[in-house]
Amino acid sequence: MAMNRSAGRDVHIYNANDPTEPLGGLILTNGVTNANFYAMIEVFLFFNGDYVLRHEGVTDVPRDEQALQPGSYFIVTDGSITVSNEPWLVRTISVSSGTRVAVFREAVRERDRRCVITGRTVVSARGAWTSFEAAHIFPLAYEDHWIRHNYARWITIHPDSGGSINSIQNGMLLDRSIHTLFDTYDISINPDDNYKVVCFDIDGFGIAGKHIEFVDDDRRPADQLLRWHFRQAVLANMRRAGEPVFECDFPPGSDMMGEIMKGPRAAERMEFELFNRLLV
Number of domains within the chain: 2
| Domain presence at residue 90 | no
Q: Are residues 249 and 179 in the same domain?
A: yes
User: Would you state the pLDDT for residue 259?
Assistant: 66
Q: Are residues 178 and 221 in the same domain?
A: yes
Q: Are residues 50 and 166 in the same domain?
A: no
Q: How many Å apart are CA 232 and CA 206, to the nearest integer?
A: 22
Q: Are residues 202 and 250 in the same domain?
A: yes
| Domain presence at residue 4 | no
Q: Are residues 206 and 157 in the same domain?
A: yes
Range of the structural domain that residue 151 is part of? 99-278
User: Would you state the pLDDT for residue 260?
Assistant: 56
Q: How many Å apart are CA 45 and CA 239, to the nearest integer?
A: 8
Q: What is the pLDDT along the chain (280 residues), one digit of tens a residue?
A: 557 899 999 999 999 999 999 999 999 999 999 999 999 999 999 999 999 999 999 999 999 999 999 999 999 999 999 999 999 998 866 555 566 689 999 999 999 999 999 999 999 879 899 999 999 999 998 999 999 999 999 999 999 989 999 999 999 999 999 999 999 999 999 999 999 999 999 999 999 999 999 988 999 999 999 999 999 999 999 999 999 886 555 556 666 566 655 666 655 655 655 565 555 4
Residue ending a domain, among 52, 83, 114, is: 83
Q: Are residues 173 and 232 in the same domain?
A: yes
Does the model's pTM come out above 0.85? yes
Q: How many Å apart are CA 195 and CA 209, to the nearest integer?
A: 9
C-alpha distances in Å from residue 109, one per residue of 36, 182, 228? 32, 17, 23
Q: Are residues 44 and 167 in the same domain?
A: no
Q: Which residue, among 29, 66, 59, 13, has the nearest Cα to 186 in the 3D structure?
A: 29
Q: Are residues 189 and 159 in the same domain?
A: yes
Q: Are residues 226 and 123 in the same domain?
A: yes
User: Would you state the pLDDT for residue 93?
Assistant: 63
Q: Are residues 108 and 35 in the same domain?
A: no
Residue ending a domain, among 83, 116, 143, is: 83
State CA 193 to chain mean position distance: 15
Q: Are residues 144 and 267 in the same domain?
A: yes
| Domain presence at residue 66 | yes
191 secondary structure, DSSP code: G
The order of strands in the sheet holding 24-26 is 24-26, 11-15, 71-77, 51-55, 59-61
Enumerate the β-bridge partners of residue 21.
none
Cα dihedral sign, 109-115-121-123: negative
Q: Which residue, among 164, 150, 220, 158, has the nearest Cα to 191 in the 3D structure?
A: 220
- Decide: 26 and 200 in contact? Cβ < 8 Å: yes
User: Would you state the pLDDT for residue 215?
Assistant: 84
3-class DSSP state of 198: strand
